[in-house]
Amino acid sequence: MRDKITARSEDYSEWYTEVIRKAELADYAPVRGCMVIRPYGYELWENVKAGLDRRFKETGHENAYFPLFVPMSFIEKEAQHVEGFAPELAVVTHGGGKELEDPLVVRPTSETVIGYMYSQWIQSYRDLPVLINQWANVVRWELRTRLFLRTMEFLWQEGHTAHATAEEAQEETLRMLEVYTDFAVNDAAIPVIPGRKSDSEKFPGADASYSIEAMMGDCRALQSGTSHNLGQNFAKAFDIQYQDANGTQQHCWTTSWGVSTRMVGAIIMTHGDDQGLVLPPRLAPTQVVVVPIYRKDDERSTVMEAIEKIEAMLGQAVRVKVDARDEYSPGWKFNEWELKGVPLRIEIGPRDIAKDQVVLARRDVPGRDGKSFVPLEEVADMVSDTLKDIQNNLLTRATEFRDANTSEPSDYDSFREAATQGFARAWWCGAIACEDKVKDDIKATTRCIPSDQPGGSGACIVCGDPAEEIAIFARAY
C-alpha cells in the first residue's frame, strides 16, 4: 500500500506535489527549477498536444521549427518586449571557448526570431496569410517554481501568424482563443472563461492580449492559454513588409498564441481529489484498466481468457491496460490506478464469469456508488457510454464548483473577501491605480475582462468611477 496522500484541505500545495510525484507524472530534475516529465505524464501531454494540434490544422495552420537560440540583438529590437522579458532571460555569453560578440538568449518565446524569418519570406500580398505553429521548449529564469505550473524550462506550442490587415489579425487572435476554449472545455473538461487581459497584464509588445482563465480546486485562478494581437509592433521592428495589390509597401499585422505544460497542472488541480488524479477520459493515457481477480492458477487462465474477449470487444476505440501483475493484490492495484486517475476500471473474477458479467468502477464516483454490474456482452457499449458520462460529469462538476465560488460583490469590503476566496466579478474602470490597489491590499489581480459582458455600465468596485466593463479578479498561480 502506498503512503497516504496529504489531504487537499490540509495542505493543497503539498497535495499537488505529492500527486504528481506518486502518480509518476514528473519529478524534480538535478537542475534547479526544472522537471523531468516521466512517461505517464508525457503521454498525458502528448494527448493534450494531439487535441490541440488537430484543431490547429483544421484552422489552416502548419507546424515548423525555429532555433533554440535567439540573438540578443533581436530581443532588443522591440522595446516593450525586452523590458518585459529581461528579468527572465537565460543568456549564453561564451561558446566554443570564446566570448560571443552577440550573446545568445535561450528561447523565452520566438516572436523575434520568427519575425526575422517572416521578413525574409514575405514579399507580396500573395504570400499572406502565414499561419505557422511550433511545438518546442522555452526557458524563463523563474525564481519560484512549481512542477508543471511554473518551471525554468517547459514545453509548449507557440503559434505565429502574419496578415495583410488589422482586421484579419484580430480575427485570428480571437479564433485561436476560441480554439483554446473549445479544447479546454471539451477535452480537458475545464470550464474556462475567455477574455481580454488588462493593459498591465498583457504580453510585452502586444497591442492586446486574451486568455482563458480557469478556477483550480483551491479556488485560485490559473491562466491556461493566451492569444496576442501584436499589431505592427514586431513587423516594424523586423521589417516584415509586403507589397499590396496596388504596389504599395505595407507592414504586416502579426499574432502569437500559446498553451504549455501548465495545462497538465490545470487538469490535475481542477479534477483531482484526496485519492489522487482524476483524468478526463479524452486525455487520459489509459482510459480503462482491467484488473483480474483470482486465487488459484486454474482460475487465472479462465479469467485471462475472459479478459482477452473483453479486449477484443473494446478494440482500438478505447485505450485499455490489463494489469495482470501477480506480485500485487487486486486491492493494491485498485489504489494504484485510482491514484493515476484512470477514468474506468473493469474488475472480473471467477464469480463474475459464472454470472457472465463484469464490475465497472468509475473514478469520478468513489466507493460503492461508482460501481455497477454489466453483462459481458454489453461491455463495449457500456464502457463507451460510461466514458462519455464521466467526461460530461467532470465538466459539470467543475462548472458548478467554479460558479459556487464566484461572487458579484457590491462594495469594496465584500469584494476584498470575495477575491481572496474565489472569483470576484465586478465593474472596473480600467485604471492601473485600481489594479495596483487590489494587488497591494489582497494580492489579487485582474484575470481577464470576460468576452461575455452584461452590457450597460456601473461603478468601479475600487474607486467608484464610471465603468463600462466587468472584470474577473482573483488570486492566481
CATH of the domain at 435: 3.30.110.30
Other residues' Cβ atoms within 10 Å of the Cβ of residue 452: 8
Cell digits for 190? Answer: 475545464
DSSP string covering 37-102, please? EPHHHHHHHHHHHHHHHHHHHHTT-EE----SEEEHHHHTTSHHHHHHHGGG--EEEEETTEEEEE
Burial class (CB in 10 A: 0-12, 13-18, 19+), 221: buried
Owning domain of residue 119: 12-271
On whether residue 394 sits in a domain, the answer given is: no
CA–CA gap between residue 48 and residue 65 (Å, rounded) = 19
- pLDDT digit of tens for each residue in the chain (477 aa)? 567 899 999 999 999 999 999 999 999 999 999 999 999 999 999 999 999 999 999 999 999 999 999 999 998 887 676 677 788 999 999 999 999 999 999 999 999 999 999 999 999 999 999 999 999 999 999 989 999 999 999 999 999 999 999 999 999 999 999 999 999 999 999 999 999 999 999 998 899 999 999 999 999 999 999 999 999 999 999 999 999 999 999 999 999 999 999 999 999 999 999 999 999 999 999 999 999 999 888 899 999 999 999 999 999 999 999 999 999 999 999 999 999 999 999 999 999 999 999 999 999 998 899 999 999 999 999 999 999 999 999 999 999 999 999 999 999 999 999 999 999 999 999 999 999 999 999 999 999 999 999 999 999 999 999 999 999 999 999
Q: At what angle do helices 432-442 and 412-421 cross, to 10 degrees?
A: 60
SS3 content of the chain, % helix, strand, coil (to 5): 40, 30, 35
What is the distance of C-alpha 262 from the center of its chain? 5
Cell digits for 26? Answer: 514528473
Cell digits for 323? Answer: 494489469
CATH of the domain at 380: 3.40.50.800
CA–CA gap between residue 295 and residue 289 (Å, rounded) = 20
User: For the chain, how many structural domains are there in total?
Assistant: 3
Please check whether residues 35 and 86 belong to one and the same domain: yes
Q: By the 8 A CB rule, do 112 and 234 touch?
A: yes
On whether residue 397 sits in a domain, the answer given is: no
Please check whether residues 66 and 185 belong to one and the same domain: yes
On whether residue 457 sits in a domain, the answer given is: yes
Please check whether residues 113 and 198 belong to one and the same domain: yes
Cell digits for 69? Answer: 537560440
On whether residue 324 sits in a domain, the answer given is: yes
On whether residue 45 sits in a domain, the answer given is: yes
Predicted model pTM? 0.95
On whether residue 281 sits in a domain, the answer given is: no
Q: Which residues contact 226 (CB under 8 A, 6 or more apart)?
A: 197, 203, 209, 210, 211, 257, 258
Please check whether residues 19 and 80 belong to one and the same domain: yes
On whether residue 280 sits in a domain, the answer given is: no
Distances 199 to 193, 206, 233, 424 between C-alpha atoms, Å: 18, 9, 15, 19
Domain end, chosen from 271, 300, 320, is at: 271
Q: By the 8 A CB rule, do 254 and 235 touch?
A: yes
Please check whether residues 413 and 358 belong to one and the same domain: no
pLDDT at site 83: 75
Return the SS3 of 383.
Answer: helix
Domain end, chosen from 246, 271, 296, is at: 271
Domain end, chosen from 271, 299, 321, is at: 271
Cell digits for 417? Answer: 473577501
Please check whether residues 21 and 140 belong to one and the same domain: yes
CATH of the domain at 45: 3.30.930.10
Please check whether residues 347 and 457 belong to one and the same domain: no
Please check whether residues 18 and 149 belong to one and the same domain: yes
On whether residue 4 sits in a domain, the answer given is: no
Please check whether residues 162 and 200 belong to one and the same domain: yes
Please check whether residues 297 and 375 belong to one and the same domain: yes
Please check whether residues 129 and 251 belong to one and the same domain: yes
CA–CA gap between residue 305 and residue 303 (Å, rounded) = 5
The partner residues of 128 in beta bridges, in order of sequence, read none
Please check whether residues 353 and 442 belong to one and the same domain: no
